[in-house]
Amino acid sequence: MICIAILNWNGYEDTVECLDSLYGSTFDDFFIVLGDNGSEDGSTDRLQDCCAAKGRSCHRIRLGEESYPSVSKRDIILYDLKENNGFSKANNMMVRFASHYRPDGYLLLNNDTTVEPDFLKVLAEFRQSHPEFGITTPLIRYFKDRDIVWNAGGRIRWGFRKYLYRNMKASQVKEKDYMECSFVTGCCMFFSPGILTQDSRIFTEKFFYGEEDFELALRMKRRKVRMACVTGSVIYHKVSASVSRHPSRIGPVYIHYLNRLIDVRDYMSPISYPFYAAILYAGLAMYLRKAFRMSPKEIFRFIKILHRHAGAMESVPKEYCLKIFRDGIGSADLFLAHPLLFQR
């Protein structure tokens, strides 16, 4: 069977809609690990009640009290992860749990998606006929405008990513079967067990907020693992439903660029990295000016803090992200000086 891993965080309605679309699938050789990442909206109880009301087999377990019930096709394991572990760690926890069942493959799927009935069948058949691809993704279209492509994979060159067919009509996609790529989004990815690390992880846990799929792409490129977008498999994404609930705007921008600098630094040669950083800072300066109307002095301060922290940090942990989101980037230096103050 294939394990479908879905992560919920305060998104009960989206998750129910996602599950309903999955249960309309023409392919039924799967079971679902549905992780709840410390939701505060009663999601865990509500999801269990919803499964019972719809006659779906649901096994509820809790982090630290794991058991491994026997599962059949279309069963759901509702996995209470107790707190917000971030996207990467939470998905790793679900995959690690599911590895005890030795699934034939794993599919990570955002809860704010719906799927075409044959999407998983197409992915599974493609893997059988093209085993040389270790990771695949469907053609992901916008939920509200279903004829427009949101993501069809992308290509990474020298630390920069270019999306394929982004915001173009699906009818403009030339490849009728698949297109090879070097980046796939964490929104939906189908992969074989051989991709996992020795301790059954798919993502790095260096970054609490974002960057997991970009690091995966760099790592897979180094390992020469091939990836593809299977254009005949289609899903729809509501796009950043969880991110849109975040009260801060500049904080996530800062964390995104900090993640990227640390990530690329670890995969790029020491000679090339300063040139990469300079190009990235130039683009960032223009973005800050246009999007946030920052003055040159404010932009200089932003990039100065970013550069200092990118050079000093090896990871971007949960405590750091939460402080930036809560107190702004002016608090970053305090964390760097006294990181233990912000750990639980």
Token pair belonging to 220: 């897979």
| Per-residue pLDDT reduced to its tens digit, 225-270 | 999 999 999 999 998 644 444 445 899 999 999 999 999 999 999 9
Residue 281 has a pLDDT of 98
The residues, ordered by sequence, that sit 6+ positions from 76 with a Cβ below 8 Å of its Cβ are 19, 31, 32, 34, 51, 56, 57, 58, 59
**Contact in structure between 195 and 121 (CB atoms under 8 Å):** no
Q: From CA 106, how far away is CA 77, in angstroms rounded? A: 14
For residue 127, pLDDT beyond 70: yes
Please, which pLDDT band fits residue 338 given cuts at 50, 70 and 90?
A: low
**Contact in structure between 52 and 18 (CB atoms under 8 Å):** no
For residue 169, pLDDT beyond 90: yes
Please, which pLDDT band fits residue 110 given cuts at 50, 70 and 90?
A: very high
Residue 249 has a pLDDT of 83
Residue 52 has a pLDDT of 96
Helix (H) or strand (E) holding 176: none
**Contact in structure between 273 and 325 (CB atoms under 8 Å):** no
Distance, CA of 100 to chain centre: 22
pTM: 0.92
Question: Mean of the pLDDT values across residues 296-312?
Answer: 94
How does the average pLDDT of the chain come out, rounded?
Answer: 93
The residues, ordered by sequence, that sit 6+ positions from 253 with a Cβ below 8 Å of its Cβ are 287, 288, 291
Neighbour-count burial of 213, counting CB atoms closer than 10 A to its CB (0-12 exposed, 13-18 middle, 19+ buried): buried
**Contact in structure between 140 and 237 (CB atoms under 8 Å):** yes
For residue 139, pLDDT beyond 60: yes
